[in-house]
Every structure is written in C-alpha cells, then in structure tokens.
Structure 1
Amino acid sequence: MHVNQYAYFALFSRSTSAAEMAAILGVEPDETDVRGSRWIEPNVIPARHCWRIVCREPGLCVDDQVARIIERLVPHTAAIAALANRLDTEGEGSGAVLEVVRYFNGQEAEQRDRSDTAGETPNLFGWHLDREVLDFLQATGAVLDVDEYDMTPDHAEDWCGGEPPGEA
C-alpha cells in the first residue's frame, strides 16, 4: 500500500489575519487561509484565518517532514508561543496545531511500490515525534492532530465532502 502524506504547523484565529500573524512573527507562511475565502454561498465561510508552515515533500517519512517544519520554527519559538497564547484567549477556533495528513492509496500504487528495490524507498508507515518536537509543541501550546484516510476504491467515499480535508 502506498502513502501520500504531508505535515504542517498552523496558527489560526477568528480575528487575527494571517498577514498580521506573519508581521508579529517576522516569518512569512508557506500557505494561508483568509476567513470567508472558500465559500460565498449559502453563507458558509471558513471560521478562521490560518497561517501555515508546510512540508509536502514526497518520499519523506512523517518524522522527517515534521523535523523540517520544526527546524524552521524553533528560532521563533518564543514569538510563536506568545502569539499562540494570545490566540488561545480568543476562544474556540483559535490556537496552534501540528497537523499530519496521510492518504493510504489503492492497488495501483501498491503494485508500483512493490517494484521498488529494497532499501531505496523509506518506510512511510511508522513514525514518531522526538523530544525537540514535543518540547516545541509544549512551549507553543500546540495540539497534535493526525488525519488518516483510506483512499482504496472501497473506502474513498467514506468521508464526506467534495475535496479531501486539507486539500481545499
């Protein structure tokens, strides 16, 4: 079975824009969401602004994706922690998260993986968070959220929605 995965660290808020977050931190995000930017009808809007640092590099295990994100953010830990703490006071829908998103694909990808020679493809199935990551999450008050989706033909329609979460 083949795995497509990515990870990101995000700060999110109902009232503080991603641009304001970037200005406060002095760190430009890789991606942003602007409150109200996804849907205009029938009155559904994203409930929050979002500032993200992302690693979507294929072939890396989750450990390595998360390590690349944290490596970029550790020099800014104090500023991120202060902002995350301020965002937490805004109430539900604001705060910080380390998100891991994984899609487990069907037979076509599985056949391709079996043709790879041993040792050249990293094992993408197991992962862990090292002490540096846990310390960063603790310091920033971030939560860990892991989403995993079985995208084999029998299960790909089990989740609701037009696009897989995190892909919109």
Structure 2
Amino acid sequence: MSLIQCVYFAISSVGTTADEITQLLGVEPDEVTVRGSLSTSPHIIPFCHVWKVVCSEPGLPVDEQIDQVIGRLRPRMEALTDLTTRLGPGSAILQVNRWFNLHDEQPSGSPDDTNLLGWHLDRAVLDFLAATGADLDVGEYDMTRGDD
C-alpha cells in the first residue's frame, strides 16, 4: 500500500492578505492563495486569501508532521492567537490529508507504510488548536483503482 500524506495549518481571510498575515506573525508561509488570482475555465475566483505552513515530508507519521508545522508557529503564539481571534471563527484550520494507494494498482502491504497508519493528537496539539480557535479537518482517501 502506498501512502501520501500532508499536514498544513492555514489561516484564511477575505480582507487580510497573506503578505499581511506574514508581517503580523513573522513566519514565512510555504504556500499562499491570493483572492481573485486564479483564472481557469470556467473562471474561478478564490473566495479568500489563504496563508499556509505545510509539512508533506514522506515517511513521517502524521503526528510528527503536525509537530513540525506547529513547532514553526509556537514561537509566535501570541501574535497567532491575536490574529485568529480578530479574524474570527473558521479562519484557522489544521488540515490532515492522506491518500492511500494513489500509485498502486493493488495494495502491496509495504511494512514501511503500515507504521504510518496510526496517529494521535497529544495535549500540546489540542491546546494549540484551542488557543488559536482552529478547526481540525481530516481527509483520508482510498485511491485503489476499481475493476473496469
């Protein structure tokens, strides 16, 4: 079984840009989305600006990816909680995404991937989520190809 996973902490806002968030927090994002920046067919305008700190390092369990993301933000905790309080509910999210069997036609049962299956949130992570008012969203997707 192949497993690809990514964790990110994002702050979104209709009125506060990613550059302004970076200035307020003093933390450089790994990814940003600028409101109104995409033009595809049909024309799609992002609803809001998004500022993200991301960890998608292969081979790390989800809880270690979460620790890396939150570890980058903890030194700026006061500024972060001030910002998320000002922006209001729904402005911050800790996102966990996992895709199983994305590149496999059949699951292989690789021992390297099975040690990545379980994960937990410790008290420090829960305290961080509570202090920032962040939501937790977990998406797990089985990408095994079905029979044609």
Q: Select the residue among 77, 92, 97 that pairs with 1:96.
A: 92
SS at match of 1:38: coil
Q: Which runs of 5+ in 2 are unaligned?
A: none
> 1:33: how far off?
0.6
* Paired residue type of 1:110: P
Distance in 1, Cα, partners of 2:35 & 2:19: 12
Query: Where in structure 1 do 4 or more consecutive aligned residues deviate above 6 Å?
Result: none
Encode CA deviations 1:105-128: one digit per residue, 9 max, x unaligned: 1645733x53x5xxx666111110
* Paired residue type of 1:96: A
Name the Cα RMSD after superposition. 2.1
SS at match of 2:60: coil
> 1:97: how far off?
0.3
Pairing 1:9-158 to 2, within 5 Å after superposition: 9-88=9-88, 95-105=91-101, 107-108=104-105, 110-111=107-108, 114=110, 123-154=115-146
> 1:40: how far off?
4.8
Please identify, of 39-48 and 17-26, the stretch whose mean Cα deviation from structure 2 is larger. Answer: 39-48
SS at match of 1:32: strand
Contact 2:2 2:113 in 1 (8 A): no
TM-score for both structures, normalised by structure 2? 0.89
Aligned length: 146
Contact 2:37 2:46 in 1 (8 A): yes
* Paired residue type of 1:102: R
User: Structure 1's 38 and 148: CA in aligned 2 closer, same or farther, altered over 3 A?
Assistant: farther
Contact 2:107 2:144 in 1 (8 A): no
Q: Which runs of 5+ in 1 are unaligned?
A: 156-168
Distance in 2, Cα, partners of 1:144 & 1:110: 28
Q: Percent identity among equivalent residues? A: 51
Encode CA deviations 1:15-36: one digit per residue, 9 max, x unaligned: 1110010011111111111111
SS at match of 2:74: helix
